[in-house]
Structure formats: structure tokens, C-alpha cells
Structure 1
Amino acid sequence: IHEMEKILVQRKSSFAVRMTCNSTSQTIMKFLMEKLELKDEDVYLVEDLIDPSVLMELRNTDEGAKMSFPEWKNFYPADLPQDEPYWDILKQHDVLLHVPYESYDPVIKFISDAADDKDVLAIKMTLYRTGRDSPIISALERAARNGKQVIVLVELKARFDEERNIAWANELENAGVTVIYGLVNLKVHAKILMVMRRESDTIRRYAHLATGNYNPKTARLYSDLSLFTSNYEIVNDATQFFNLVTGYSTLQNMKQLGMAPVTLKTRLLAMIQREIDRSDPEHPGLIMAKMNSLTHQEVIEALYKASQAGVQVMLNIRGICMLVPGVKGLSENIKVVSIVDRYLEHSRIFYFQNSGSPELYLSSADWMSRNLDRRIELMFPVLDRNAFKEVQGILSTYFEDNTNAQYLSENGIWQPVERKKDEKEMRAQEILYKKYRRRAESSAKTPKIDFEVRRKN
């Protein structure tokens, strides 16, 4: 933490690494390059606004309101009660949460209920970016003051959030929380929360695993998936994960969770190879994946190999993609699409057909070198049958978009997906929003049934 504080001080007077500018005065640009000791390759010329974030101020004006999207409410999940803890529900089945279509309140409630529950013994979680005035921080502090063991791994190396995270860490420590300041040389990017609770004659564990940060504010803008579960193998792996990152044990064999930089990449490559081995012309394999960016050379080469073996590869990549699709003899069976809409697509979903026994995973990790080789990340399976069906439907919806989707051509240029004549307009995010709205309306119309138990005297 002291080293990070030094870096934050040095950052104000550190050397420049790049300069972004528009077609301004060449005299001014050359002057800045000379004084900042920048070379031509350090200068990036743009035609648009250098800092588009300033446009956010327009939202509070009358003109900004006219240019804004129509309001989309988020909905409380029908599977979760609003007025009681989730323990009994999670004993029966996993619960999937899809923000911002669904409210982020269940995550806050889950932590808050654990903080106030007299039977909860411990809360353990990772924090990467939490946002200002976070109710999650307040709940963790309250849990520690209530005598529970609270262990939080705060990643200080979250870019440009370092100072805020140091402040949160100090605040948590003052409240009695045990704070772990990340790991040397590895950034902890995994999103996981575990609650240990005394029930009858045993200790039961509950976990929440997510593709996005524990940040209620970005949960209104970023599309992410998370899973509440008490599945024995998953929570057992979660226990091993926390024992490892807090220094209580060495790495143990995890049955369900894939962890970078140890096993996640190896498992991904093995599943791609399995798809190749089980694919034939009559029954071609299928890989579907959604992520922010794809840059990892080994993974890209494995996907090329899969394409050449006849495996159909469908990729939804929002940002950087270094794979080139549609090249004959190399990647002709690979399709890459990107969707940019009102919500930032942030979830990572991986589907492998596995010769009729499909597997589906969610993850905090993109298929990038930094994620798979230089960060602590988690990939977790979707095992619950209903949750599996839900995630599979979400993933398929992104490949049906013909309104806000673009496809990557073999020359590396993104092209808008053209809607065929008389083809129905398909906008993935709108389809998902309407689905959750219908579900919420249907749940509101369903009458609640109160059961009265009568016993003979």
C-alpha cells in the first residue's frame, strides 16, 4: 500500500506516455512534443472530441433530455423475495441475476442480510471497483462491528481507482475488517463473495459470482450476469480460492471453478480441443462466446484450428478483436459480431456444444493475455437447469441482432449487419428488456397464496 501511495504522488509529475490531439496548430503540437519528450509514435490524432465524457453534462439540460434514450426501468427478480433473506431459496436452486435489466438490489440485500444475521459467521469477498458512497462498504463495516469475521481483498491496482480503493481499505480496517491488499505481480480481477452461516448442526456456505464489479452505479449502465448459489462443489472451490488468496493454503484442485493464471487458460484450450475432437461433417461442433476483447494468441490459434476442423465458432466481441474471421482455409467458419447500444456489454459467456452435452460458463475474464496470464480471474459453470436455459437464450439473442450489430469482415473492417427485406427488426437489448418487463408484470399479476397449517389437538 505504501508503494502504491508513492506511485500516486509520482503520477502527477511522471513522464508522458502519449498525447491525444485533434488537428490543432502544428506549432503548438511540436512545442508540446518537444517539452514532453514525445516521438511521432506517441502522438494520436483524432477528428472527434478528445474527451467525449464532457458530453455527460448535457444530460442535465433540456436539450440533453431530448437526445437521451427513453427510460428503461429495472425489475426485481421474480425468483427472489424482497422482504426476507435468500437462504431458503438458494438451498433449493441457483438464482441468475442480469443487470441492468434486473435490479442490483439483490446483491446489496444479500450482503446486508448477512451483516445483520446472527447466524452468519463470516463474509469474504473481492473488491475491484466499488464506486463512491457504496452501500456494500457500509454493510461490510456493519458486519465487522457485529462480530463477524469479514475478509476483503481490495485490489489497489485498479487503474485510476487506486486512491479511492486505498481510502476504502483504510475505512474497512478501521471498522475491524481484515483487508488483503492484493497479490504481488498479479491483479485480482475476480468477482466473488462468500457467506458462511451456522444452520442446525452444520456450517452452510453461500456464494455470489459475477462477471462485473461490485459497483451499484455501473450496474445501472453495464450489462452483466451473476449467480447466487449454494452448490456444494462451487462453494467448496470458493473456500479454496479465498484460502489461497489470503495466504492460508497453497493451490488445491478445484472441481468447478477455473482460476487464472493457473487453470483457466488450460481449461479453455482443452474445451476448444474437445470440440475439435468431437466434430465431424454430419455433426459439426459449436463454440459460442461473448466477451469484451479477444487478443490472446494461443486462444486465437486454437479457434483457427477449430474452424479448420469444421467447428462453427460464433463470437460476440464488443471491443478489441485480433482474430480475423472469414478467411478461406483459416477462419471461414468463424463469425464475429459486436453490439454497441445504450448499455455497455460487459458480461463474459462461453458455450461449448460438447457433442450434445453442452457446457456453459460465466467469467470475469476476457480472452486476453492480461486476463489469462497476469491476473487472478475466475470462470464458473452454470449448472442449474433453469439458469442454463436462461443464459443460453441471452447468448443466442446477441447473434440475432440486425439493428445495432456490426460484423467483422475478413479485411478487418466492421460493417453494419444489413437487415434483409421484410425481415423483422431485432434489437438484442430491447428484446431482453421487454422479456424482463413481461416477467415482472406477470409476477405482479400472480396472486400470493398464504398457507395456514392446521393441526389436530
Structure 2
Amino acid sequence: MELTTAKPNIAANNPELFINRDLSLLEFNRRVLAQAKNDAVPLLERLNYLCISCSNLDEFFEVRVASIIEMATIDPNALSPDGSTPAEQLAQISKHAHELVAEQYNVLNEVLIPELSRQNINFIRRKDWTETQHKWLSNYFNDELLPILTPVGLDSAHPFPRILNKSLNFIISLTGKDAFGRNSGRAILQAPRALPRVVQLPPDETRSGQHDFVFLSSIIHAFIDDLFHGMTVKGCYQFRVTRNSDFFVDDDAIDDLLLAVQGELAMRNYGDEVRLEVDAQCPEDTVNFLLARFGLTRDRLYLVDGPVNLNRIQEINQLVDRPELKFSPFKPTIPAQLAREKDMFAAIRRNDILLHHPFESFGPVVEFLRQAAESPQVLAIKQTLYRTGADSPIVAALINAAKAGKVVTVVIELRARFDEKANIDLAAKLQEAAVHVVYGVVGYKTHAKMCLVLRREDKQLRSYVHLGTGNYHPKTAKLYTDYGLFSCDKELGEDVRRVFAQLTSLGKVTRLNKLLQSPFSLHKGLLEKIEREIEHAKNGKPAKIIMQVNAIVEEQLIQAFYRASQAGVQIHLIVRGVCCLRPGIAGISDNIEVRAVIGRFLEHARVYVFANGGEQEVYASSADLMSRNMFKRVEICFPIENKKLAARIVRNLDLYLHDNSQVWLLQADGSYRLIQKNSDEKTLQAQTQLLSELQA
């Protein structure tokens, strides 16, 4: 692409200036998959990256591809911001997704399996089983699999069964007649999800000290004849169907959001088919039979050379105890002010406290709630929960607070995608403990991460808040990079109280002192701050924008970045995933750099920095720069006013801007280029540096 003429006013719908959102998401998965080929990454972690890329691709088809397929039916002439119709998008997605899937299986078969074998971790093919292994696997099949496997012969009395979303299935070709004289020629076998997809062999005399595994599919292939006595199995082939897993709740037609979500969940596993994966050895007539059965065209077919669900190979990591093949363990630190002062409230009164996960422990967040539950001075706790995990200590603290007689209010987002069932169960558990549970605002997901504790001190109420960029989830806090802020600032506390009032009651939007909030003031506020940088640049004052987010999609914000670039504002964007902005276009975006970091931890923080003519402003937020975050979710954006804490965040961002080994630069054509350091240049990995500095 070559756009050389500067345009003072760029239309938000100019297709030349936008990268397709879904192709950008596939590029993200390419970067994840690249880690599986990276020799600098421990071998079992490389296997994990392969599995993550496959899991990501599953969700991509379940949600994004499914929505485009629906749009192709509803409005085939609709245009995405890059000017593509749904049919054109699907064609491009098919091309790139097929390339990605082919690369995934090439990485598995040609790179990882041989390297794992050199480390005595083996996936044993059927043809290579020893006599001892064959006997053990035969017993395993008869004892563990045969009793629970239920093949279905296809005939008029046994129609093609309903196939569960992403389940492992086999289509079997048969000859001969059964006990009733039937022979349809085909049968379907569904493998229960409870079965492990890789089975570890016990060590025998010839393979001492090794880890030997067999795919479940290989075991079923080897002994499939035992399921069809008196008949001949001519072929047995894996297949898997991916279905539309997004669900629609009509906000205008529901009386009870909980019941509506429960009703939709029951249908999730049987949504419309969007992709078919089949064993590459499957005969053409059988492939065509499956395509016809699922109503899919050839472009939705993916022939694979290996297990149809690579994500389940992640089980290996739990089965192989080889620390040298995994990331080194680390112990997150506790900030010095909390290490010195065990009373969380006293520590927060002294100064705002910033946590940077996972380098710093999530423990203080749990301790904050635990102390709030036990303190007789605490009268009320208000908390949002989007994803929190089973048996969370956060939930335990909230329940204990309610049992202690405190007023506890929890806003649970029932429609947190793929966590809906867990959140329904969580709501019931909290309600049993007399916690006030609400589900936010119909039509708007509550994605804000905030907690408010009201405490009586010196005959007055004081507000303590925790605000974060990530979920209240102790497990993901060890894997995702996020920021959390503790403060007892009066105006900040009042803002948080007002937001909770919006979520739990009815009333007009009230003006906030310091917070920016979606869907009311965040989008407008960000646009105003970008325009302010433009004015500073025109007036010769310091003008720079640094942002770290997961995605940049929203068109008006992208347009504002282009205007800022044209005005001379230097813009550094650290975007983990989707980015629809095109950097490096002469006269339009040549002052914009977009970099993506793929490392040990999932980059999840959302931070906005504005030079502001020398009066720098630093914000953290729960929101990415997407339309849904700006207009269809309840999000908060909070200032980091303590100068030391703000400087610390800016310094962390600077590490990412100088990382020379884990960073990919976005090109104007939508591709990414991995930064290669000079031979005489010192290696800098931002995540490794932060881990080293904050290692306990």
C-alpha cells in the first residue's frame, strides 16, 4: 500500500486506512504459533504455545467467523471498515486460516514431536508399539474405553447423531451384516469428553526413563474392530465440528436475564456448524458425506495430519515432570509498603499503592478483602466480578463479610463469554450467603474491575478502592500482565460509589470527578485528550501518546490517531492482539509505531499516557479501544495521580518500547515483522527484565 498524500480530514470509513479486524486476529495467532518454533523458549512451553494457538483459533471460528456467516445471510452487502463484504471476508479468512492450520500441524509433526523425542518424550504411533505396549493398550481399551463407547450404526432407525461442539468423533466405514442383518455401511462413534486425549504408557523394560504417550484416537483406531463383532471395519477417521457458540439474548424481550442466559447456554453446544476438521487420510466420498450432513461448503473443510484437537495435547505438561523443559518458577513480590505495614487500610491511607501482576503478587487484593471482611469498622463492600475462577479466595472473603453482617453487593456479569455457567453458579453461591447480587445493566456488559470498601473511621465514612485492568482471578493474575491501584482518595471513592449506584439502581448519569466511564464519558474523553495533544504539537509543546492495550478497532479513535500523527504527535502503541490501524503510511500515519509483545505472560494491561504539553497524564483502564468497550460495556478508566507510580508505569512502557527480542512491528500491509537485534546490541526482554527486578 502506498498512500503519500496527506489528508487533513480522514473519513472514518476510508477502507484504505483500516486493516481487517479478523485477518489481524489471525496474525496474532501466527505470532503465538511462532513461539512454538522459538528455540529460546523451553520445549514444553513451546508445545503450550502451539495448543494456545489452536484454542484461540477455535474461539475465532466459534465467535468471529460465526458472526460473519450470519451477516452474510442477513446483509450480504454490508461493508466492514476495510471495505470488505461478508463473503469477501470469509474468503480471505479461509485462505489465511487454512495456511495457519497447515503450519500448526507442520510445527507439531516436523518440529515439536522430533524435539520431544530427543528429550525422551515420545508420541508412539500404532506401527511402532512394542508387543508389551500393544498388550497394555488392549487391556486399557477393554477396561477403560469399551464399556463407555457407544457407536451408532447409521440407518433409518438410527439417524445421524447430534454432534457436540468441538467433540472428538469418528466416522467408520463397514462391510458385512450385524446380528439383525443390518448394514448401512457407516457408523459414528463419539468419544466422551471425560476421556483423556493422550494416554501415558507405563514404563516397560525396553523404554526405562522415558515418557511414552499414545493419542486416544490411535487407541480407538487400533481396536475399533472390537466394537463391531462379525463385521469388517474398512476405515476409521477422526472428525470434529466447530459450531457457532456465541449466543443472543434479546435485551428488549427478557424479564429475567439469569433465565435467559441459562436457556441460551443449553443450546450452545448445538449451534450452527461453521467448520469441519477431518483426518487427512479420510476418503473423498466420506468427506463429502460429512460436508453434506453438516451443510458446509469445501472452504469450511480443514484436513489435518494429526489429532483434530491439538489443544488437548496440553495435558502433557501436567504429566511430564521435567522442570528444565518449562519456564523457571518465580515468586511474585509484595510492595515494600505492604511488607512493612500489615494493616492494609493503614498502608493505603499513607500512600496510593500500585500492583503490577504477575511480577507482584495478587495476594494483597485478597488480603484487602479478607481484612475488610474481618474489620468491625467496615460497613459495606461493593465488588464487580467478570471472571473470577472456581473456589476463589475473593468469593470466600465476600461470603465471610456477608456472614459477619456487612452489606455486601456484588455485580456479576452473566454474559462473560464462556464463563456464563461458572458465573451463574457463582451468583447462586453468593446469594445463599445473603450477598446482594445484581447482574448489571441489561444490554451492557459490566467489564469494569473495581472494589469499594466503606469503613467508619473517626466518626466518618472513608472509602477505600481497588481498581484494576484485569479480572479478580488469582490464577490468571499469575499469567496475565495487569495493573491494580489501591487508593483512599475521596473523589475517586465517590466516583466508584456513583458507578455502583448506576449498576444497582435506576437514575440519570451523574458527573464523575476523576473517572472516565463507558458508555458515557470514556470515548469522548479519549478523543478530547488526543485532540489536546494535537494542539500541543501545533503550539510547539511536548506532544506524545503511549498506549498499551489488547486491541485497537474503534474507527473514530483510529481516525483521531491519524490526525494526531499528521500534526506531528509521536504515537507509540503496544497492542497485543487486533490492530486495525495502519502505521507508517506517508503523510498519514508515519508518526505512529505499533508493536506487539509475545512472551511468557499474556499482555493484558490497558494504559494510556498523554504528554499533555509537559503536564503528563497517566491512566489505567479496563477498556480496550474497541466499539464494544466504548459503547456497549460498563468500563472505567482511572488516573494514576501519584507521580512516583505514574513514572513507574511510564518506565515499564519504555522497557517495552526498547524490547529487542519479543517484539513484532506492525507493517502498513497488516503483516508483522519480528525485531532482530544487532549483533553488538544487548538483549532486552521487557517481561524478563521486570521479572528480574521484582523477583522475590
TM-score, normalised with respect to structure 2: 0.61
1:316 matched residue in structure 2: 574
Aligned counterpart for 1:250 among listed residues 493, 508, 513: 508
2:438 alignment partner, one of 180, 185, 191: 180
The Cα shift of 1:250 comes to: 2.4
Q: Which residue of 1 aligns with 2:259?
A: 2
CA contact (8 A) 2:542 2:614 kept: no
Match of 2:296 among 8, 30, 38: 38
> Is the 1:315–1:337 contact (alpha carbons within 8 Å) kept by the matching residues of 2?
yes
More deviation, 372-381/66-75: 66-75
Deviations 1:183-239 (Å, cap 9, x if unpaired)? 211111100000000111100000000000000011110111010001111111001
**Among candidates 362, 372, 381, match of residue 104 of structure 1:** 362
Distance 1:313 1:117, change over 3 A: same
- Residue number in structure 1 paired with 2:86: none
Aligned match for 1:221, one of 479, 483, 490: 479
| Structure 1, 305-314 or 82-91: larger mean CA deviation | 82-91
SS at match of 2:273: coil
SS in 1 for 2:578: coil
Question: Cα distance, 1:8 vs. partner?
Answer: 1.1
| Aligned-partner Cα distance in 1 for 2:320–2:527 | 52
How far, CA to CA, are the matches of 1:40 and 1:436 in structure 2? 52
Q: Does 2:394 correspond to 1:152?
A: no
Is residue 2:555 matched to residue 1:289?
Answer: no
| Cα RMSD for the two superposed structures | 2.1
Judge which range, 380-389 or 63-72, deviates more. 63-72
> What secondary structure, in the 3-state scheme, does the structure 2 residue paired with 1:269 have?
helix
Segments of 5+ residues of structure 1 without an aligned counterpart are: 441-457
Structure 1: how far apart are the matches of 2:345 and 2:606?
Answer: 27
C-alpha deviation, 1:46, in angstroms: 7.9
Structure (1/2) with the larger helix percentage = 2
User: Which secondary structure does the structure 2 equivalent of 1:407 belong to?
Assistant: strand
User: Is 1:341 the counterpart of 2:599 in the alignment?
Assistant: yes
3-state DSSP of counterpart to 1:205? strand
Cα deviation, residue 182, structure 1: 2.6
Aligned partner of 1:451 in structure 2 is none
Indicate the residue corresponding to 1:448 in structure 2: none
Q: Are residue 169 (structure 1) and residue 427 (structure 2) matched?
A: yes
Residue 409 (structure 1) shift: 1.3
Matches within 5 A, 1:45-124: 51-62=309-320, 65-81=323-339, 84-124=342-382
**Does 2:527 correspond to 1:269?**
yes
Partner of 1:445: none
Q: Hey, what does 1:15 align to over in structure 2?
A: 272
Which consecutive unaligned segments of at least 5 residues does structure 2 have?
1-257
Distance (whole Å) between structure 1 residues aligned to residue 544 and residue 668 of structure 2: 20
Are 2:676 and 1:415 equivalent residues in the alignment? no
Q: What is the CA–CA distance in structure 2 between the aligned matches of 1:41 and 1:151, rounded to whole Å?
A: 49
Q: Bigger shift: 44-53 or 73-82?
A: 44-53
Of 637, 641, 662, 1:383 maps to 641
Q: 1:399 aligns with which of 657, 661, 675?
A: 657
Q: 1:90, CA displacement in angstroms? A: 1.3
Structure 1 residue 29: deviation in Å? 4.8
Alignment pair present for 1:129 and 2:377: no
Contact 1:284 1:310 in 2 (8 A): no
CA separation of 1:156/1:47 partners in 2, compared to 1, >3 Å: closer, same or farther?
A: farther
Per the alignment, residue 465 of structure 2 pairs with 207
Structure 1 counterpart SS, 2:636:
strand
Distance in 1, matches of 2:616 and 2:302, equals: 45
Given candidates 550, 557, 564, the residue that maps to 1:306 is 564
For 2:468, the aligned partner's letter is A
Q: What residue number does 2:618 align with?
A: 360
Task: Normalising by structure 1, report the TM-score.
Answer: 0.91
Shift of 1:282: 5.0
Q: Does 1:330 align with 2:588?
A: yes
Matched, 1:372 2:644: no
**Take 2:276 and 2:489, find their aligned partners in 1: how far apart are those partners?**
50
Partners of 1:314 and 1:403 in 2: how far apart?
Answer: 18
2-structure distance, mates of 1:56, 1:12: 22
Q: What is the CA-CA distance between 1:82 and the residue it aligns to?
A: 7.1
Identity among equivalent pairs (%): 38
Q: String of CA shifts for 1:63-114, please: whole Å, max 9, x gaps.
A: 7544311222211221214773211121121000011111110000000100
SS in 1 for 2:551: coil
Q: What's the offset of the Cα at 1:371?
A: 1.0
Distance 1:385 1:22, change over 3 A: farther
Alignment check: 8 A CA contact 1:349 1:395 kept:
no
Matched AA of 1:267: G
What is the alpha-carbon distance in structure 1 between the residues aligned to residue 400 and residue 321 of structure 2?
Answer: 43
When the two structures are aligned, how many residues end up with a matched partner? 438
CA contact (8 A) 1:281 1:310 kept: no
Change (3 A) 1:266 1:47: farther
CA 310–6 in structure 1, closer or farther in 2 if over 3 Å, else same: same
Q: Highest Rg: 1 or 2?
A: 2
Q: Which moved more, 1:180-189 or 1:207-216?
A: 180-189
Superimposed CA distance per residue, residues 20-48 of structure 1 (whole angstroms, 9 cap, x where no aligned partner): 66856455554443323334565578889
CA, structure 1 residues 116+63, in 2 after alignment: closer, same or farther (shift >3 Å)?
Answer: closer
Which is further off, 412-421 or 63-72?
A: 63-72
Cα distance in structure 2, aligned partners of 1:401 and 1:366: 22
Counterpart of 1:56, as a letter, is Q
User: In structure 2, what is the Cα distance between the partners aligned to 1:174 and 1:24?
Assistant: 53
